[in-house]
């Protein structure tokens, strides 16, 4: 059998840092505060929350941390019923008392490189966005949640510059995310760390807005209300607050405006970070990373808990939530990974499912019992050996069982990954049952 050849470290170089190549964030980078302000000017909107909510609503900025939740709704929820949009916008809930705001740069997806890049090369963009949200909701405090390393050091330097220049009403602080913990980036885990607890999701966390993907919430065990935003979301916010909603909508689709950072990895000529308009096709995205380095068998979008798509059937599929929905897929935090045809998709799925099972916080039934079972079934499918049909049924059943039943969305990703493998590598299941493997490209 072919052994998996895919994994490799996350790429960290930006491939398209210049403007004109779809680049907004990648082109706006300035490490020093002086250069940042010289290029972009000061932060607008200070102390005008309703205007910021209106601008965000007009721009249609959605969260770039994975769930794609509308940013204006999150802000309106944090502001309460009197904010633009009223109580309906906030899902009918609001809290009283000052909130804390968190820039989530934990980047727990092993293949992702965008948030570390932003904090290292354009930290003031993220910090401007954080300041805008913090000041809009009159936050008691603000945090950057990031793993120890160059990105944390860069943001520490940037925060010192801002403190010296008195840029922010509430200077932010760094809180460290643990390395190598997949669920540590989940919003309630980030909230827990800021609140002085352990970096794991907590089941009692209640999202504020009715459909809020754990991006804003409050709950008993926390001592404060938290607004958690992905670092890239805040960087977009900093630009659109300066340039306006119409400018923001010049790229992307009507429903999902703007650009997104995408970490492209696997069998491509130049693995790295690109910035594309939302809705760019998968072929365009892979092309921006130099194209496939060898014949591709499948493309995984959305990260470890993402979905496999067949490489030859999907080059024209848009990288957007709407474009990928029909394929039971989503862009996630902007991840595209090309699996070469010679590599075994089932073995790769087993490896990823095993990782996701081992990375659960082990607090809820679906994670404790379901994910090991799912990983075991995926392992059996990769190994082949006669009982493939019953293992495939088992995998499909467990995926169905765990999906949507955890306190956070960690199990959903594992279920989506395995379901997509059963679809895309269906022909390989038969080959494996007969003790053969021709790789993911048939």
Ligand X SMILES: Cc1cc2nc3c(=O)[nH]c(=O)nc-3n(C[C@H](O)[C@H](O)[C@H](O)COP(=O)(O)O)c2cc1C
Which residue, 104 or 259, has its beta carbon nearer to ligand SF4? 104
Q: Which does 407 bind (CB under 5 to 8 A by kind): ligand X, ligand SF4, none?
A: ligand SF4
Size of the site for ligand SF4 (CB under 6 A): 15
409 touches ligand X by CB under 6 A? yes
Q: Which stretch binds ligand X (CB under 6 A): 211-219, 246-254, 311-319, 347-355?
A: 211-219
Q: Which stretch binds ligand SF4 (CB under 6 A): 141-149, 307-315, 390-398, 405-413?
A: 405-413
d(CA 114, CA 126): 12
Applying the rule CB under 6 A, the residues between 159 and 198 that interact with ligand SF4 are 183
The DSSP bridge partners found for residue 300 are 308, 337
- Distance of closest approach, residue 329 Cβ to ligand SF4, in angstroms: 21
Instruction: Using CB under 6 A, pick the residue from 230, 307, 310, 440 that binds ligand X.
Output: 230
The DSSP bridge partners found for residue 176 are 146
213 touches ligand SF4 by CB under 6 A? no
367 touches ligand SF4 by CB under 6 A? yes
Closest residue to ligand SF4 using C-beta atoms: 406
Helix (H) or strand (E) holding 300: strand 296-301
d(CA 148, CA 155): 11
Closest residue to ligand X using C-beta atoms: 185
422 burial level (CB within 10 Å; 0-12, 13-18, 19+):
buried
- Distance of closest approach, residue 38 Cβ to ligand X, in angstroms: 28
Per-state percent for the chain, helix, strand, coil, to nearest 5 = 40, 15, 45
Binding track, positions 411-430, relative to ligand SF4; x by CB under 6 A: x-------------------
Report residue 394 as tokens. 């088992």
Residue 296 dihedral angles phi and psi, to the nearest 5°: -85, 145
Residue 102 dihedral angles phi and psi, to the nearest 5°: -125, 125
Could you please report the per-residue DSSP string of 327-365? TT---TTTEEEEEETTS-HHHHHHHHHHHHHHTS-S-SH
Q: Which does 362 bind (CB under 5 to 8 A by kind): ligand SF4, ligand X, none?
A: ligand SF4
d(CA 234, CA 214): 16
**Which candidate, 19, 32, 29, 75, places its Cα nearest to that of 50?**
75
Applying the rule CB under 6 A, the residues between 16 and 75 that interact with ligand SF4 are none
Q: Which stretch binds ligand X (CB under 6 A): 224-232, 312-320, 347-355, 387-395?
A: 224-232
- Distance of closest approach, residue 416 Cβ to ligand SF4, in angstroms: 14
Pairing of strands 141-147, 206-207: unpaired
Using CB under 6 A, list all residues that contact ligand X.
63-67, 69, 104, 106-108, 182-183, 185-187, 213-215, 228-230, 233, 408-410
Residues that bind ligand SF4 (CB under 6 A): 183, 201, 203, 360-364, 366-367, 406-408, 410-411
């Amino acid at each position: 059998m072919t052994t998996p050849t895919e994994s490799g470290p996350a790429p960290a170089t930006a491939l398209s840092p210049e403007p004109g190549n779809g680049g907004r964030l990648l082109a706006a980078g300035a490490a020093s505060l002086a250069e940042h302000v010289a290029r972009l000017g000061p932060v607008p909107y200070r102390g005008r929350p309703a205007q910021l909510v209106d601008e965000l609503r007009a721009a249609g900025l959605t969260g770039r941390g994975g769930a794609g939740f509308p940013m204006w709704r999150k802000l309106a929820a944090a502001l309460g019923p009197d904010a633009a949009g009223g109580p309906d916008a906030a899902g009918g809930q609001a809290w009283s008392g000052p909130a804390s705001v968190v820039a989530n740069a934990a980047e727990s997806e092993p293949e992702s490189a965008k948030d570390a890049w932003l904090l290292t090369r354009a930290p003031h963009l993220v910090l401007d966005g954080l300041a805008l949200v913090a000041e809009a909701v009159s936050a008691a405090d603000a945090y950057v949640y990031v793993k120890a390393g160059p990105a944390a050091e860069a943001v520490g330097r940037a925060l010192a510059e801002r403190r010296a220049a008195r840029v922010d009403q509430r200077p932010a602080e760094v809180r460290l995310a643990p390395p190598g913990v997949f669920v540590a980036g989940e919003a309630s885990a980030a909230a827990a760390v800021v609140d002085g607890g352990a970096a794991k999701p907590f089941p009692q966390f209640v999202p504020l807005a009715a459909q809020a993907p754990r991006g804003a919430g409050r709950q008993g065990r926390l001592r404060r209300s938290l607004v958690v935003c992905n670092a890239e979301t805040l960087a977009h916010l900093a630009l659109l607050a300066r340039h306006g909603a119409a400018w923001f909508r010049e790229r992307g689709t009507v429903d999902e405006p703007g650009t997104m950072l995408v970490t492209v990895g696997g069998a491509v000529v130049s693995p790295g970070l690109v910035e594309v308009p939302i809705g760019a096709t998968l072929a365009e995205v892979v092309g921006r990373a130099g194209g496939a380095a060898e014949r591709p068998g499948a493309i995984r979008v959305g990260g470890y808990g993402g979905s496999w798509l067949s490489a030859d059937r999907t080059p024209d599929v848009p990288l957007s939530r709407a474009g990928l929905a029909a394929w039971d897929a989503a862009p996630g935090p902007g991840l595209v990974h090309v699996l070469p045809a010679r590599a075994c998709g089932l073995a790769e799925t087993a490896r990823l499912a095993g990782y996701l099972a081992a990375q659960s916080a082990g607090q809820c039934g679906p994670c404790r019992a379901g994910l090991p079972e799912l990983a075991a079934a995926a392992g059996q499918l990769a190994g082949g050996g006669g009982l493939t049909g019953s293992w495939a049924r088992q995998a499909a059943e467990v995926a169905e069982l765990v999906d949507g039943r955890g306190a956070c969305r960690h199990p959903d990703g594992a279920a989506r990954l395995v379901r997509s493998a059963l679809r895309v590598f269906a022909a390989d299941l038969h080959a494996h049952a007969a003790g053969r493997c021709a790789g993911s490209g048939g």
